[in-house]
């Protein structure tokens, strides 16, 4: 990796101010999934072992620049303390004299967590003075929050203008994995894209058409491609204004001899609920009164064949309406195929990661990405502000 990491810093006696991603799901103030907190543990442990005092900062939810008790990071401080086996005091704010005094009082191995960055509108505005106040809390800045690296916020980009800035271990793993896939992939290189809309992934498709050997399309975005070719899609989700773009992408794939795989059969139902009668039909046989909610069994087998022959796989986005069990079968089948492939595999995006984890397959994936939007922008070939701000090797 071309960026400096925490391994390039002599930490003894220094304060590390670390951007982590503790934007965890909550239910009644209780954390329902602590994956993001656990993902930060290797960096925190390495800094403590190296003699650093650790100041952690994160956002949680969307409090819209105002203090909102439902978005306090108190549950995260408590859970992190349990995982580390030490007290992790939550500070009353993320800037100001009280917080600065607490940061200065830290000894080697001590850890504190700042209150939600987004209680201040200056965070998302990347306000220069707010960034300077954050920088005053540490000697060296560490970004270990890949999931927010595509945002030019005060805690991801602005602070790096005032302190030496290096990557944490999670950030390093993300950049190494995605860089390997896009830079020097072992071939065949297959990308699987799903989700609701083509418009969400236009940049990814355009960038990858020059890099991949096969591009597998599923989810609602496949409907737009099918309709653009004149196929019936009933009352399925569709983006008619993207039909011309879909045809152009299909033409470009043919020109570059890239396999752009679309469903040959689909699972349909009159409405989107678990009790609705459902059936598999060919893509030419979707009736007007029904809608497509998943890929069909024939398509699953075709996609599995492409996946089985791959040596590098990147997957982002579900094949159907994953949150409704009867329409999650295509996504689960793809999850199993990716895990069984023996390829170098990267899975990103909430539903794709959930499918892998629900099936108990996460330990058979080379890299499970923590960054949804950041992963997509990386795959688009865009520079991520939070990465660009880090010191070069």
Active site residue 373: yes
CB half-sphere exposure, 278, CA atoms < 13 A: 23
- What's the rounded Cα separation, in Å, for the pair 319 and 263? 10
Q: Is 285 annotated as a binding residue?
A: no
Question: Which candidate, 179, 195, 186, places its Cα nearest to that of 334?
Answer: 195
**How many other CB atoms are found less than 10 A from the CB of residue 66?**
10
DSSP 8-state assignment for residue 86 = S
153 labelled binding-site residue: no
The verdict on whether residue 21 carries a ligand-binding annotation is yes
382 known ligand binder: no
Establish whether 13 is an annotated binding residue: no
Report the candidate in 299, 309, 369 with the shortest Cα–Cα distance to residue 329. 299
User: For helices 350-358 and 329-340, what crossing angle results, to 10°?
Assistant: 70
Active-site residue identified among 29, 289, 309, 350: 350
Half-sphere exposure of 28 (CA within 13 A, CB side): 0
Query: Which of 65, 231, 373, 381 is labelled catalytic?
Result: 373
Name the H helices within the chain: 35-49, 74-84, 97-104, 121-124, 128-135, 169-183, 202-208, 220-228, 243-255, 297-308, 329-340, 350-358, 372-379, 385-388
Q: Does 64 qualify as catalytic in the annotation?
A: no
Catalytic residue among 197, 252, 311, 382: 197
Q: Is 61 annotated among the ligand-binding residues?
A: yes
Catalytic residue among 3, 19, 36, 332: 36
Is the dihedral angle over the CA atoms 378, 381, 384, 387 positive or is it negative?
positive
**Alpha-carbon span 205 to 185, nearest angstrom:** 17
Active site residue 364: no
366 is in an annotated binding site: no
Q: What is the DSSP letter of 156?
A: I
| Strand bridging mode 312-316 / 291-295 | unpaired
Residue 323 marked ligand-binding: yes
- Is 104 a residue of the active site? no
How far from 188 is each of 54, 82, 194, 377, CA to CA, in Å? 43, 44, 20, 23
Q: Is 104 annotated as a binding residue?
A: no
151 in a labelled binding site: yes
The answer on whether 22 is annotated among ligand-binding residues is yes
Q: Is 155 annotated as a binding residue?
A: no
Numbered residues of the known binding site for (2R)-3-phosphoglycerate: 36, 118, 151
Numbered residues of the known binding site for substrate: 21-23, 36, 59-62, 118, 151
Numbered residues of the known binding site: 21-23, 36, 59-62, 118, 151, 201, 323, 349-352
Q: Which residue numbers are catalytic? A: 36, 197, 350, 373
Numbered residues of the known binding site for ATP: 201, 323, 349-352
């Amino acid at each position: 990796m071309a960026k400096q990491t925490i391994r390039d810093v002599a930490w003894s006696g220094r304060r590390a101010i670390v951007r982590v991603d503790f934007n965890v799901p909550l239910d009644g103030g209780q954390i329902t999934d602590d994956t993001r907190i656990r993902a930060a543990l290797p960096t925190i442990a390495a800094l403590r072992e190296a003699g650093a005092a650790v100041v952690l900062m994160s956002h949680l939810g969307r409090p819209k620049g105002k203090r909102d008790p439902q978005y306090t990071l108190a549950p995260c401080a408590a859970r992190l303390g349990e995982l580390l086996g030490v007290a992790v005091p939550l500070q009353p704010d993320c800037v100001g004299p009280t917080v600065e005094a607490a940061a200065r009082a830290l000894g080697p191995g001590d850890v504190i967590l700042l209150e939600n960055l987004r209680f201040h509108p200056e965070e998302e505005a990347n306000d220069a003075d707010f960034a300077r106040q954050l920088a005053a809390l540490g000697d060296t800045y560490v970004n270990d929050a890949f999931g927010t690296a595509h945002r030019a916020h005060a805690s991801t980009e602005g602070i790096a203008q005032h302190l030496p800035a290096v990557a944490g271990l999670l950030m390093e793993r993300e950049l190494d994995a995605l860089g390997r896939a896009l830079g020097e992939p072992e071939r065949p290189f297959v990308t699987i894209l799903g989700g609701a809309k083509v418009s969400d992934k236009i940049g990814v498709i355009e960038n990858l058409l020059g890099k991949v050997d096969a591009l597998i399309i599923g989810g609602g975005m496949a409907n737009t491609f099918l309709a653009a070719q004149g196929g019936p899609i009933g009352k399925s989700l569709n983006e008619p204004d993207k039909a011309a773009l879909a045809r152009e992408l299909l033409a470009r794939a043919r020109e570059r001899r890239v396999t752009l795989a679309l469903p040959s059969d689909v699972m349909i139902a009159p409405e989107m609920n678990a009790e609705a009668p459902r059936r598999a039909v060919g893509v030419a046989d979707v009736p007007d009164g029904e809608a497509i909610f998943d890929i069909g069994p024939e398509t699953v087998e075709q996609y599995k064949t492409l996946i089985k022959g791959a040596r590098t796989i990147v997957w982002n986005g579900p094949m159907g309406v994953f949150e409704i069990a009867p329409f999650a079968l295509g996504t689960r089948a793809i999850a199993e195929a990716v895990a069984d492939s023996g390829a170098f595999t990267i899975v990103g995006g909430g539903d794709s990661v959930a499918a892998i984890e629900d099936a108990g397959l996460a330990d058979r994936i080379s890299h499970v990405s923590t960054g949804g939007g950041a992963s997509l922008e990386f795959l688009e070939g865009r520079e991520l502000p939070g990465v660009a701000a880090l010191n070069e090797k």
